[in-house]
Amino acid sequence: MTVWENLTEISETADGVALQIAYAGASNFTGTPIYARAACYLHQDAAACLRHAVDLAGQIGFRLRVFDAYRPTEAQWRLWAHTPDPDFVADPRRGSPHSRGAAIDLTLENAAGEVLNMGTPFDDFTVQSYHGRTDIGPSAQRNRALLLGIMTAAGWDYYRNEWWHYQLFNPRRYPLLSDRAAGTQMMA
């Protein structure tokens, strides 16, 4: 349990997701690890929506693969320092839904653990990452629509510029949290 009692850890075993925390390694848009420790946390309200999405995906033979969830404010500043583009990285002065435990970045994988084609990779900061693109292949369009349907049916809102990003409605009602305040020990 964390210092902030409303933040809960998400695990592969307990929550039925695959974890591939992108910012814990160098395979992310910055080319360097942002987190010192790979971990996945969500506000308890977001965790409930995630459990619903896991159930919906599982009913049709899919599993969710999580790239990021709660992101300490310190990490948000590092991402912004690397790429200060408000179309894809939230300005930390305003705060990210991730830094509130109210957002998640994810994709779908099939029963064999293979990631579905979404037309672009995670964190591809181009217009092809926007929802509703018709200049990506038909299978990628279907896969994005499937993910969108699962997530919105489970109570998530989407961000129009990133097919992978979902957040709770009105995420600003949750406080911004630093690593220390959250007690997550994700930052060095």
Active-site position among 5, 12, 74, 162? 162
For residue 120, the tally of other CB atoms under 10 A from its CB is: 20
Q: How far apart are CA 6 and CA 43, in angstroms?
A: 5
Structure tokens at 152: 């919105």
162 is catalytic: yes
CA distances for 79 relative to 123, 162, 181, angstroms: 12, 16, 20
Q: DSSP string of 54-118?
A: HHHHHHTT-EEEEEE----HHHHHHHHHH---TTTS--TTT--SGGGT-EEEEEEE-TTSPBPP-
Q: How far apart are CA 174 and CA 44, in angstroms?
A: 11
Question: Active-site positions?
Answer: 162
